[in-house]
Structure 1
C-alpha cells in the first residue's frame, strides 16, 4: 500500500461508491494505509478462502492492482470459481520488466493503464484499435498535487539540482554521476531524496570525478516539500529500462513550478512537453548544456516551471481522473459476471509465472546467463526472481536463479 499505489487509492477516494481493498498479505510499507482508509476504503486482510470468496461475490467489479507481485500471481493462478467482472490496473508501464503481454490483458474484461505510453507498446497495439477502445483506458496519477503548487522557494547558498525517488539503479540511471560531472558546475550541489540504497556506488563514482562533496543524500523524507523548496532544477535521469508509469515525484516537482531536465524516453516524454514544460535530453552532453542554460537564464527557467505547473494541474486534474476510473468500471459493469480462468495464462510452475512478465531478457534465464539480465532482476522485491523465491522457496529454477544473482552481487560488492 506504499508509494504510488497507495497514493493512487487515496487520491481515488470514495467516488460515491462503496469500495474495499482486499490485501493478500500484510503491507510492508504502511505509509499510506491510514490515508487510504480515511479516503473511504475498507481495508480487509484476505488470507482465508471464505473471506476472499465472500468479497468477490459482493463486488460489482473487481480491480486487480498489478505490478507482477508474486502474491497476486499465485492468487490469479488459484482463482476461485466465483463469477466476477474484472479490471486489470497496470501500475507499471510494461516497457521492459514487468512486461505487459497481450495474453495477460485479454484475461481481464477491462484494463486501466497509468500512462498512454503503455498503449504504444507493440504487443498492446497488436490488439487492434477497436479492442483498445472497448477494453482499455488511461488513468493518470491520482495524487493530489494541489499542495505542491503552494510551495515557496527557500533561500539557499548553492545552486541546487535535485532528485526525488528511488535511488536503486533499476529506476535511477546507472551513469547518473557522469551526467552530473558533464554539467561542470563545481559550485553546485546535487540533492538526492530517497532511501540511499546506492549511496556507496554513487559516492565512489563521484570521488573518481572529484565531486563527492557535491552530493547531498537526504534519505527518505515523510514530506518532500521542504526539499523541493530548495531546488533550482529538478533532474530526473532514469534508467531507460525503468518500470515507472505515473511518476508521482516528477509530477510533484512540476506542480511545484520547478524546471525539469529529463531523458527523452518512455513515460517522461508523455509528461514533459519539450522546451515548454521542461527539457528533454539524449546524452550527458545535452544534459550539461540544459542545466547550464537554465542556470544562465533564470527568467526562462522560471517560465518553464510556471508552464509546467499549469500544464500538470490541468492534465492531471484529480476529478477528471476519477471520472476516467469510473468509466472503466462502467464498461466492465455493462457485461455479465462470469468465471475467470487466469490459470490458463499462468501455466506451468512458479518459475514460469515469473517469466510470464519477462520479455527482452527471457533467454538470459532460459540459457543460464542471469548475469546478462537487467539490473532490476537483482532487486529483492519488484517481482524479481528473489521476490518470487520468497513466495515459492521449493521451486528449483527460482532457487537457482536467486543463488546465481546473489553470487553475482557478492562479486560486485568485492
Structure 2
C-alpha cells in the first residue's frame, strides 16, 4: 500500500507525530512524503527517512501530480499554511483517494474550510474536541460518518519511571512549550501572583524574547521571584521527570490539538493543571489524571491546594501515566490509520477541484482561515486592511501569506 503525504514541512508537532508513526507503521505500508518547503530543521525529516519514509522536497506541480497518481492514497496534512493552499490549487491532480489529517482544532481561527469535510474521502481530526464544531454538527449524518479523530500527540515511549514525577518532586512546578501569548494564557503570571502559599517557583522552559511581552509581564509581577526562565531544553524528558506539577495554562482560543508537552508530561507522571479549554479537556480527566479549571482564580486556588497537600498528587500522577500509556501511543494511531486506509481502498479514486473548494487567490485562502462563510469584495478588503494594521507575524498570518506570495495583487491593501 502506497500512501503519499503532502505536507508543508515536517517540523514541530506534525514532524514529531510522523517520525513516531513511521516507526510504528506496518511494513506493508510505504509512506512517501512531499515537503512543500525545504526543511530548516531536518531532525524529524531525518527520523522519517531512517524509519523507511521517502522524501521529495519542493517538487514542481507535474512531479507532485505524478506522485499522487502512483499512490493508492493521498493524505493531506492540513493546517493553514500558504504553501499547502498553493500546491493544492495549482497542481493538476489526477483522481485520488484522499485523507485529510487536520493539525488544528478549527474551533477558533484559523478555521477549516467546511467544504473539505464532504469533499474528502476521509477527514480526520487530531482531537475529538473538533467534532463539536458548529460546522461539523450541522453536517448530515452520512457526512459525519466520514469524520473521526486520531491522536498525534504521544507520551515518551518506554520512559515511565518507577514512581510518577509528582511523587518524587511534588512541589516542583514547570511549564514547557511556546513562551508566547499566542499560545500561553495572557493571565499566566497573574495566576502565579495570586497564589497564597509558601515560597515557590515556576520554571518556564522554552525560548523567550527577553524584551517581548511574556518577559515584560513577568517583570511586572508582585512576586517576580516566583518565575525562572530556564531557556530552550534539548531533553524535555529529563526536565519533565523532575517536575511534579505541570502548569499548562493556555489562552482560551488557541488552535492546538495534540498538546505534545502536556501529553509527554503526563506520561512521566506529572500532574497537569490546565484551563478548561476544549483541547485540554480532551486530554485531562479532571480529578483523575489532572485538574482542569474554569478560570484563573479557580486555577490559583487549585495550585494552592496542590502545594499545600502534595501527598494527594501521587495517585493522580500514576493515573496520568497509565492513561497516557493506554491511549496515546504511536502504535494505536498507526493501527487506526491502517484500518482507515484498508477500508478506503475499497473505494474508487475520484477527482477533486481544490480551487472550487478553497478559492483561487491567496487572499481568498487567507480570509477563509479567519472568517466563516462568504464575504463581499468590500468586506474582504476591509478585513485585509485590519489584518495588515495588526501586523501579526505568526504562522498563517497575513504577513506569512505575503511572504510566500510577495507579488500577488489580491493581498494588496
TM-score by length of 1: 0.88
Instruction: Sort the Cα spacing of 1:308 and 1:81 in 2 relative to 1 into closer, same or farther, 3 A.
Output: closer
C-alpha contact (below 8 Å) 2:166/2:269 kept by paired residues: no
Within the candidate set 188, 191, 203, 1:176 is matched to: 188
Q: Hey, what does 2:402 align to over in structure 1? A: 389
Distance in structure 2 (CA, Å) of the matches to 1:248 and 1:301: 21
C-alpha contact (below 8 Å) 1:261/1:280 kept by paired residues: yes
More deviation, 391-400/12-21: 391-400
Q: Hey, what does 1:358 align to over in structure 2? A: 370
Distance in structure 2 (CA, Å) of the matches to 1:298 and 1:213: 22
C-alpha contact (below 8 Å) 1:170/1:239 kept by paired residues: yes
Distance in structure 2 (CA, Å) of the matches to 1:268 and 1:350: 32
Within the candidate set 32, 56, 67, 1:20 is matched to: 32
Shift of 1:281: 0.8
Deviations for 1:334-361, whole angstroms, at most 9, x for unmatched residues? Answer: 2111221111022242111111121379
Within the candidate set 95, 98, 101, 1:86 is matched to: 98
Q: Hey, what does 1:321 align to over in structure 2? A: 333
C-alpha contact (below 8 Å) 1:158/1:187 kept by paired residues: no
Shift of 1:276: 0.9
Distance in structure 1 (CA, Å) of the matches to 2:182 and 2:108: 11
Q: Hey, what does 1:204 align to over in structure 2? A: 216
Q: Hey, what does 1:145 align to over in structure 2? A: 156
Q: Hey, what does 1:408 align to over in structure 2? A: none
SS at match of 2:160: helix
Instruction: Sort the Cα spacing of 1:260 and 1:333 in 2 relative to 1 into closer, same or farther, 3 A.
Output: same
Q: Hey, what does 1:110 align to over in structure 2? A: 122
Deviations for 1:5-38, whole angstroms, at most 9, x for unmatched residues? Answer: 0111112114221111011110223231221112
Shift of 1:239: 1.0
Q: Hey, what does 1:276 align to over in structure 2? A: 288
Q: Hey, what does 2:13 align to over in structure 1? A: 4
Instruction: Establish whether residue 336 from structure 1 lines up as the match of residue 348 from structure 2.
Output: yes
Q: Hey, what does 1:405 align to over in structure 2? A: none
SS at match of 1:88: strand
Unaligned runs of 5+ in 1: 401-414
C-alpha contact (below 8 Å) 2:89/2:360 kept by paired residues: no
Shift of 1:327: 2.3
How many residues align? The count is: 398
SS at match of 1:218: strand
SS at match of 1:50: helix
Within the candidate set 242, 247, 252, 2:254 is matched to: 242
Instruction: Sort the Cα spacing of 1:288 and 1:254 in 2 relative to 1 into closer, same or farther, 3 A.
Output: same
Distance in structure 2 (CA, Å) of the matches to 1:365 and 1:241: 24
Distance in structure 2 (CA, Å) of the matches to 1:391 and 1:323: 36
C-alpha contact (below 8 Å) 1:115/1:138 kept by paired residues: yes
Deviations for 1:321-344, whole angstroms, at most 9, x for unmatched residues? Answer: 111112222233221112211110
Distance in structure 1 (CA, Å) of the matches to 2:48 and 2:409: 38
Within the candidate set 81, 84, 99, 1:72 is matched to: 84
C-alpha contact (below 8 Å) 2:125/2:150 kept by paired residues: yes
Instruction: Sort the Cα spacing of 1:278 and 1:320 in 2 relative to 1 into closer, same or farther, 3 A.
Output: same
Q: Hey, what does 1:165 align to over in structure 2? A: 177
Unaligned runs of 5+ in 2: 1-9
Q: Hey, what does 2:279 align to over in structure 1? A: 267
Distance in structure 2 (CA, Å) of the matches to 1:227 and 1:290: 23
Distance in structure 2 (CA, Å) of the matches to 1:175 and 1:22: 40
C-alpha contact (below 8 Å) 1:179/1:284 kept by paired residues: yes
TM-score by length of 2: 0.88
Shift of 1:210: 2.9
C-alpha contact (below 8 Å) 1:151/1:225 kept by paired residues: no
C-alpha contact (below 8 Å) 1:158/1:189 kept by paired residues: no
Q: Hey, what does 2:138 align to over in structure 1? A: 126
Aligned-pair Cα RMSD in Å = 2.8
